[in-house]
A and B are shown apart, each in its own frame.
Chain A
């Protein structure tokens, strides 16, 4: 790629060996994909690596190097959720021992390192940094150095920002240098759809199964989804962005989607209409039968498939304020049906710290507490990495969590019945 004199000087070590090595890594990365140049990052970063797992020695060593070189990001950044929250996700003595002393033994140290290079604040730990309450919300056309697959696909698709599916480490490198290689989803050409998805279902599909089906089919391509606006409408309301958040997370974890367009709804689909579709785009038709086929193919990884669930996680990615209220209503309705006062399976709902603070001001927060539901800002995925905690029969409505753990997936309407004891 063509570099400016300033960039060339950095590569030559004018601003130190560490900065040179960081830029070298970004340039080699861009060169592999035919990037023509580096382009400036225009807003705050978001990092995927939030967890101080002892084994991630490359991360701590590199962070030490960055700190010693005096490098700091020009914009404060956010980071994925913390792995531990003993206050709201209770753990046994053995679980705690594994979490604190073995698995996440570097958590405190790592958070100190993050603070030194530009972490936004103590509430910056969430996978939904783009929500208004959190405030790391890119504008249309912003260039990002983000990782976290669900956040990248949301920023590209729903906000119209531009970001490649960067890996952990590359996210911080781009944020520190303030530049990223120009290729792929940063270019107009790279944002064109090469798949047309025709949704022909009888009702609004479960977001996480639809996303899963599309992700598995298109892998890292860009899908243009037709027929979903019939159910979602044409405006990005709180309800719609919540749906798209969950849909996108499933496309990115069950496949490698970094950008999708929803006809008549997402900004570039509205602006460019079908001009944003390649003429040779392939077609994938999704009907009720296809969704059921995908759903039935999810393996059950529990040792005893008929075991009683011991824990339910709702909120991977973290729930929006709208979803917290929606789940409160769903649980209230279903507890009335079952005649119970509290949920009968330990249930944890997860949401960004800033969203939880806002929710705590509402009556629904008191209701959820009364129903026995805990609210946390933990990363459920990090929780299930604990071999003891993760081997318990956990249920979830998250396709992402299902993919990375032994948790069993249920549709929203089924999981609420299970936790409320509705027969």
Chain B
């Protein structure tokens, strides 16, 4: 039987497609800044300290992560990549969402009319049972499953 992960819906939506898994805290500024600053059409993860996302396309995919870490520009960075349309389609947090990522998705929703999906409290197993490149289904009731 396929394992289904159920979390808390912060910004609802449906998604089917590939995912990238960051097993460590994702440094938002370090990950997204290079592509955003260079006005790229896609984000390529640029955090040299996070091998899980470094060099990987992060636009339009589901990004599975424990939480975000690092600079307090984090929320603004998420808002900006949403405004630029180069954001991940979904942010799926194993833990409770952190204050910076929460700010980012709320800013993106309220000020940019973004439809980025955000679900938290999915449990730490999601970081090991789902692998980068897996195809997953995210539903608006907050469930995530491998296809």
Q: Which of B14-22, B107-115, B123-131, B136-144 contacts A (4 or more CB under 8 A)?
A: B107-115
Contact A166 B83 (CB under 8 A): no
Interface status of A136 (Cβ within 8 A of chain B): no
Contact with A along B97-115 (1 / 0, CB 8 A): 1111011101100111000
Contact pick for B103, options A169, A301, A385, CB 8 Å = A169
Q: Which of A22-30, A332-340, A362-370 contacts B (4 or more CB under 8 A)?
A: A22-30
Size of the A side of the interface (Cβ < 8 Å), in residues, is 45
Within 8 Å CB of B99, what residues of A?
A: 29, 33, 164-167, 184
In the assembled complex, the Cα of A58 lies from the Cα of B70 at a distance in Å of: 21
Contact with B along A1-43 (1 / 0, CB 8 A): 0000000000000000000010011001100110000000000
User: Which of B66, B67, B111 is the most central at the interface, judged by chain A CB atoms within 10 Å of its CB?
Assistant: B111
Contact B71 A169 (CB under 8 A): no
Q: Is the interface of B mostly helix, strand, loop or mixed?
A: helix
Q: Which of A133-161 contact B (CB under 8 A)?
A: 147-149, 152
Contact B103 A29 (CB under 8 A): yes
Interface status of A309 (Cβ within 8 A of chain B): no
**Closest Cβ–Cβ distance, residue A223 to chain B (whole Å):** 14
**Closest Cβ–Cβ distance, residue A64 to chain B (whole Å):** 12
Contact A148 B69 (CB under 8 A): no
Contact B107 A25 (CB under 8 A): yes
Interface status of B68 (Cβ within 8 A of chain A): yes
Q: Which of A48-56, A198-206, A234-242 contacts B (4 or more CB under 8 A)?
A: A48-56
Interface status of A107 (Cβ within 8 A of chain B): no
Within 8 Å CB of B97, what residues of A?
A: 32
Within 8 Å CB of B79, what residues of A?
A: 58, 169
**Closest Cβ–Cβ distance, residue B52 to chain A (whole Å):** 14
Within 8 Å CB of A215, what residues of B?
A: 69
Contact A170 B75 (CB under 8 A): yes
Of all chain A residues, which has the CB nearest B109?
A28
In the assembled complex, the Cα of A33 lies from the Cα of B100 at a distance in Å of: 12
Contact A256 B106 (CB under 8 A): no
Within 8 Å CB of A220, what residues of B?
A: 67, 69, 98
Besides A29-B103, A147-B72, A256-B70, 5 more A-B contacts (Cβ < 8 Å) are: A29-B99, A58-B79, A167-B75, A168-B75, A256-B69
15 A-B interface contacts by CB (under 8 A): A25-B107, A29-B103, A32-B97, A33-B99, A55-B80, A58-B111, A149-B71, A167-B75, A167-B104, A168-B76, A169-B79, A169-B103, A170-B107, A219-B67, A254-B69
